[in-house]
Amino acid sequence: MRGKEISDSKKLILMGLCGGKCEFRGCEKSIVQDMLTGEKSNFSNYAHIVASSENGPRGDKTLSTQLSNDENNIMVLCRDHHKEIDDFPEKYTVDILKDMKREHEAYIKDLMNISKESSVIGVKYTANISDRVTKINDEDIRKCAFRQNKYCRGEIINLSDSKADERNNSKFYEFERDNIKNNFLQCIKPLLKKEKVYKFFLCAIAPQPLLIYLGTLFSDITDVEVQQLQREPIPEWYLSDERNEQFHVKMAIPEKKHSRVALNISITADISENRVRDIVGEECDIFKIESNIHGNDIIKNRNQLEMYKKKIREVYEIIKDVYGRDCEINVFPAMPVSIAIETGRCWMKKAHPSLTIYDEKNGFKKALEIKYEGEDK
């Protein structure tokens, strides 16, 4: 015997609870819009956890008829996952499906509790690193914002449109710098000119010189939350608000002996002075910003970024005051994504000396020059 059909009122409730997305764990498919064609319609399937018939998948002689119109026994799924759970009922048991439904609906409820004032505009930028093709999924950015009690409004702005990499293009850095700037002027600059103050939520993966340049475009006066990819225990974009008491940043400031200046930034690894001298020679004063611990995954907290930003601002100011605005700072970086972007954001284009960024590819090589070239239109 089959239980009652799902009433229209229950379907409306279920659509609200699922937030317009498939409730299968890990599926982010919309059930109100075709992701390929963009056509909007109701593509939902209403799937019974305990089947509405005792002979159906996960059917029960007593509960099937009792729960056939119970919203707690019905999941909203895309067509593919409705078929999957019914084709493999021994794998997708009642308890597993209840957990999926509860997790998804709790996520939607938490999302709805985020205020409009906490909305941000998601921005991503990627560029290939050697033979590694980099990619950032839009949904990962939204999840990162959600974990920090923020909501990414609208589409994620993508500042990337190049498939080139530095292996086969001697002009890669200049080419990609122009790409970033053009995309920034087209997508971000108009928002900065509006009366409303927008908060940007920035995720990026690219060679360090390009990340530094990206930071200079946003600058320190733009409201930007820079994120960091965490690789352990699982890959995710996130920075915690908790304080990290083990991480410290120190500066080494040389006595002025020469007019030439270098800046050694050793965060992910220690760059020896000899490696810098091999490039800049002996007649150069070398400043150094160094963390007490090194590694690719050491930046996990916002206070670590704030600690670094304080030091890099101080170094920029000292160099400007001692060596003059017209000197050139030769930058040798070993740093995570977030530190690289903040290195650029803390550089004031009208006040600080120009930057020449080196990149480490079987030895340091000059990659990019960053200097004030007048106001962008």
Q: What is the per-residue pLDDT for 100?
A: 96
Distance in angstroms (rounded) separating the CA atoms of residues 239 and 304: 10
Counting residues of the chain whose pLDDT is more than 70, the rounded percentage is 94
Cut 0.85: pTM above it: no
pLDDT digits (tens, 9 = 90+) for 256-291: 999 999 999 999 999 999 999 999 999 999 999 999
Average pLDDT of span 68-76: 94
- What is the dotted CATH code of the domain comprising 249-370? 3.40.50
Task: Give phi and psi for 367, each to the nearest 5.
Answer: -115, -45
Work out the pLDDT band at 112, boundaries 50, 70, 90: confident
272, two tokens: 């020896």
Burial of 86 (0-12, 13-18, 19+ CB in 10 A): middle
Work out the pLDDT band at 228, boundaries 50, 70, 90: very high
Question: Is residue 163 scored above 80 in pLDDT?
Answer: no
Work out the pLDDT band at 197, boundaries 50, 70, 90: confident
Alpha-carbon distances, residue 179 vs 94, 167, 176, 310, 339 (angstroms): 51, 18, 5, 30, 22
Question: Is residue 109 scored above 90 in pLDDT?
Answer: no
Contact 73/48 with Cβ under 8 angstroms?
yes
Q: What is the per-residue pLDDT for 315?
A: 98
Query: Would you tell me the crossing angle of helices 172-187 and 208-218 to the nearest 10 degrees?
Result: 30
Containing 261, the helix (H) or strand (E) segment is strand 261-266
pLDDT digits (tens, 9 = 90+) for 286-333: 999 999 999 888 999 999 999 999 999 999 999 999 999 999 999 999
Parallel, antiparallel or unpaired: strands 249-252 and 285-291? antiparallel
Question: Is residue 34 scored above 70 in pLDDT?
Answer: yes
Residue ranges per structural domain of the chain = 8-112, 116-237, 249-370
Distance in angstroms (rounded) separating the CA atoms of residues 44 and 41: 9
Q: What is the per-residue pLDDT for 146?
A: 86
Helix (H), strand (E), coil (C) string for 291-338: ECCCCCCCCCEHHHHHHHHHHHHHHHHHHHHHHCCCCEEEEEEECCHH
Q: Which CATH number fits domain 116-237: 2.60.40, 1.20.1630, 1.10.10, 3.40.50?
A: 3.40.50
